[in-house]
Chain A
């Protein structure tokens, strides 16, 4: 009853009608959004600033996952684990202090994730205070930033989500001064995992923000790693420079995870070398023998035990089980003291002191911008490490004029995602373009 043509189709492309139906119903990115400019890029793809066609005052950040290329022809190669995670998690969560995913558009072999737009991020704030204003972050602003960050983290942790890449570049602030945790590309659910956490990702968290148990080779870790990172971010906001600014040891050719000697030393210099009392179980850590060879530090914690410093000290507890949880941190008395945290983190900041708007540039990707872009004036060289965990964010390098786009928000998780793809044997990475 089938003619030859139909029969051939049935045999060779049985899903043709299905696809035709779906394609006909598809609403394209271009029909819904005007792309205003390019924000940043990384191995995962590129991030654009866009406005809604329907209401032009509403801004979005569109994260376009790069389709893998085989030769010159773009083919379907399977959605990366990282993209699946970010999509799956973002579809379920909703919290004031976590960046909101508006929709996902699957089009032309690419994935577009449309997020609410955020004007600033912590890295930009740090840069703005240290380079432009040359003053400390006001204590109320500092407290509000940390409070809202913790508030978002409490939500993620209560949903059994580990972020695993908290760092200033991934923590956004809206124009109205609300902190939004962004970039869940490395995040994952830890509720009854079918596989141990280390099985999927050998390296997590950008090196400067990586908790000691990860540096010591822990195979099992928990929410405490995010709390350590909050401590690092807190300290960085307070001092306007990374507190533990170590050099990352590179993966060897067999992709073995190396001992991160320098990073641990940077931590020990500040907090002292841990012993079994500070950290029950430290003797049993895989890297303990390596650690023993390092010079010991006895400095009785440079962090004074006062007010906010007490909170910081507790976030920097060596033993993961002794470390303050996000929820306990949120209840810390520092937040009950004056000045109290504000909903708008910049509430009492004079207008001229508020960080500038995110800079966007023209992009050279014709598919999105439709305009051939000028050559990028400031292409920052790749960071000193093989997977560039956050190393591209040296503040000294960012004092160059016109480099503010490195404060890219949604995207700046590039470093860690890159680490991930490197481990996964992904495509060679392309360095973030800084306009």
Chain B
């Protein structure tokens, strides 16, 4: 199982197409006038899960699993009919167990309750009763169809790459653990491993972290996300990019057309043995035997995620070092520092538009029923999203409660209660 992605529940049941994702938001769309808000919800909730996960001392893989559970849950359910915060807590609780890093339910309830009571969430109703979270867990596991084993791109990344400084492994942000023989790869045909600098590997790792801010984990198999992250790293990380360029120019001069088709990863790994020679990175990618046009498509989606993300501003966000999106500020200009700190120019953009955004935000009390139309320059804040979410849920509740003759599944007792009250 752990090696056979193609036999996994994830491949068989949980890789969906865009139409399915669109359909999943159909109910929500009634209460939102611009579907683009869903992109921001997707970013926002991933951030919330990441933050709660960190409070629970979860490793990155546990957090990623929790986010995947959340995404899968909302394939089947609407934001407006559920309470995403209890769903988030349940996702974290189940992910801890599914990844063999269990956290006592009491701790999850306590941390979630405290965290969600703070700004910007201001959730006052998070239950203090363990059984409420346990009940949600029950429904969640049901909606997940008991498929609790999740494949992540991190594994492919570590299988594809070795670090230049392979001696020490603790510095890696990656998951440490017993080195297990992976056996043959479950995709492609490539052999050997790409040798990357720590910086470059960290960027690739961060890009994978970033993909969880989107629906990509529902759309593509994890190994393609890993390969795309690697591909973007080569483009983004100047020293690595230079290596690629250097190699391809030396190719044309030295062994040009000598044997272009057989330029394989075996050669690449041979090259890396003699440490001075640059690796044949292009050849390595070619040897992977995956659809490069699909990788290019995913790369486009990641880039569009970053452009949406730029407008999504969170206070705590600036200190989050596990993201690579800042790197995109450096694209096209000579760029050498590690990506995670290259946020200066990004910040400026954000602060300029921040004042504008404040005027946009209406409180639920005074605001109109429909959220304001987004105009392409505004910044989206968590507060805005939470207010929008609250409006959506209140409106939906109101519609459901007052529905007469509408084909909505309603507990009969509700109507009786209503009649009595």
Contacts and interface: CB of A to CB of B under 8 A. Distances in A.
A91 B149 contact: yes
A191 B81 CA distance: 37
A93 B1 CA distance: 6
Given A6-B401, A76-B135, A92-B8, A14 B101 contact: no
B212 interface: no
Contacts of A91: 9, 145-149
Interface stretch (B176-184, B256-264, B315-323): B176-184
Given A17-B81, A158-B3, A193-B100, A1 B398 contact: yes
B377 interface: no
B141 A92 contact: no
Interface in A57-91: 75-79, 81, 84, 87-89, 91
Contacts of A11: 124-125
Interface stretch (A19-27, A228-236, A274-282, A365-373): A19-27
B394 A192 contact: no
Size class of the contact patch on chain A: 35 or more
A84 B97 contact: yes
Contacts of A159: 1-4
B193 interface: no
Interface stretch (B46-54, B201-209, B279-287, B408-416): B408-416
Interface in A14-49: 14-24
Contact of B400 (A17, A77, A87, A109): A17
A375 interface: no
A78 B394 contact: no
A106 B332 CA distance: 54
Nearest to B396: A17
B80 to A, nearest CB: 10
B219 to A, nearest CB: 21
Given A76-B138, A193-B177, A10 B149 contact: no
A104 B146 contact: yes
Q: Which of A20, A92, A93 has the most CB of B within 10 A?
A: A92
A76 B137 CA distance: 9
B83 interface: yes
Q: Which of A6, A77, A81, A194 has the most CB of B within 10 A?
A: A194
A109 B1 contact: no
A131 interface: no
A393 interface: no
A7 B365 CA distance: 13
Contacts of B410: 17, 20
A194 B409 contact: no
Contacts of A193: 100, 177-178
B93 interface: yes
A87 B140 CA distance: 14
B30 to A, nearest CB: 15
Q: Which of A3, A91, A158 has the most CB of B within 10 A?
A: A91
B142 A22 contact: yes
B254 interface: no
A426 interface: no
A5 B401 contact: yes
Interface string B92-108: 01100111111001000
A6 B397 contact: yes
A160 interface: yes
Contact of A194 (B59, B94, B183): B59
A12 interface: yes
A18 B81 contact: yes
Contacts of B334: none
B77 A18 contact: yes
A22 B77 CA distance: 10
B397 A9 contact: yes
B20 interface: no
A78 B105 contact: yes
Contact of B101 (A21, A192, A195): A195
Nearest to A75: B131
A87 B146 contact: yes
B148 A84 contact: yes
A5 B81 contact: no
B100 A194 contact: yes
Contacts of B9: 91-92
A285 interface: no
Contacts of B2: 159-161, 189, 191
Contact of B177 (A9, A81, A194): A194
Contact of A92 (B130, B136, B142, B149): B149
A20 B178 contact: no
B393 interface: yes
B314 interface: no
A19 B394 contact: no
Contacts of B1: 89, 92-93, 159-161, 189
Given A92-B149, A194-B59, A20 B409 contact: yes
A190 interface: yes
B361 to A, nearest CB: 19
Contact of B175 (A6, A94, A192): A192
Given A6-B398, A20-B409, A79 B131 contact: no
B61 interface: yes
B86 interface: yes
Contacts of A87: 141, 146, 148
Given A1-B395, A94-B7, A78 B100 contact: no
A194 B62 contact: yes
Contacts of B142: 22, 106
Q: Which of B101, B146, B393 has the most CB of A within 10 A?
A: B146
Contacts of A220: 178
A89 B149 contact: yes
B369 interface: yes
Nearest to A23: B411
Contacts of B139: 15, 18-19, 22, 106
A190 B180 CA distance: 8
Contacts of B180: 160, 190-192
A84 B397 contact: no
Contact of A20 (B130, B143, B411): B411
B82 interface: yes
Nearest to A22: B139
Contacts of B8: 92
A120 B8 CA distance: 29
Contact of A192 (B7, B82, B177, B395): B177
Q: Which of A3, A11, A76 has the most CB of B within 10 A?
A: A76
A5 B3 CA distance: 52
A189 B138 CA distance: 23
B175 A194 contact: yes
A10 B98 contact: no
Contacts of A77: 105, 130-131, 134
B141 to A, nearest CB: 6
A200 interface: yes
Nearest to A77: B134
A196 to B, nearest CB: 8
Interface string B129-163: 01111111111011101111100000100000000
Closest 10 pairs between A and B when the two form their complex, measured CB to CB: A76-B134, A88-B148, A14-B83, A159-B1, A20-B411, A92-B1, A191-B2, A160-B2, A192-B177, A76-B135
27 contacts: A3-B401, A5-B417, A6-B394, A6-B397, A9-B401, A14-B86, A15-B83, A19-B139, A20-B411, A22-B143, A75-B134, A76-B132, A77-B130, A77-B134, A78-B105, A78-B130, A78-B137, A79-B141, A91-B146, A92-B9, A106-B138, A158-B3, A189-B2, A189-B100, A190-B180, A191-B3, A194-B99
Interface of B: 1-4, 7-9, 59, 61-62, 77, 81-83, 86, 93-94, 97-102, 105, 124-125, 130-139, 141-143, 145-149, 155, 175, 177-178, 180, 183, 369, 393-395, 397-398, 400-401, 409-411, 414, 417-418, 421
